[in-house]
Amino acid sequence: MKSKFCLVLNADLESSDETALLEKNYQNVFKPLLSFLYSHKDFFITIGFSGPQLAHYEKKHPESIELLHELS
């Protein structure tokens, strides 16, 4: 029997209203994570974001939100 499991990632930042920190987090963590997930569509993960994070990604990187919708 093949086992499956799901990882949970809490991507919430303590200072999530700081634009520079949000952008650094996007470039160093979230963008590479999306790239990995897109190339490994059978990998199960749950990601928790804060509202300011999602608003920043939607405004500055709308392609990331579209990719999240596609992966969902």
Q: pLDDT for 4-40, tens place per residue? A: 666 676 666 655 568 888 898 899 988 999 999 999 9
Q: Which domain holds residue 59?
A: 7-13+20-71
Per-residue confidence (pLDDT) for residue 64, from 0 to 100: 93
Domain membership of residue 32 (yes or no) is yes
Count of domains forming the chain: 1
Helix (H, G, I), strand (E, B) or coil at 9: strand
- Quick one: pLDDT band at residue 51, thresholds 50, 70, 90? confident
Mean pLDDT computed over 43-51: 83
Domain membership of residue 1 (yes or no) is no
The radius of gyration of the chain from alpha carbons, rounded to an integer in Å, stands at 13
For the cut 60, the answer to whether the pLDDT of residue 2 exceeds it is yes
Domain membership of residue 40 (yes or no) is yes
Domain membership of residue 61 (yes or no) is yes
Domain membership of residue 37 (yes or no) is yes
DSSP secondary structure string, 40-72? Answer: -TT--EEEE--HHHHHHHHHH-HHHHHHHHHH-
Integer CA distances (angstroms), 17 to 53, 68, 69, in order: 8, 21, 23
Model confidence, pTM:
0.74
Report the greatest alpha carbon distance in the chain: 46
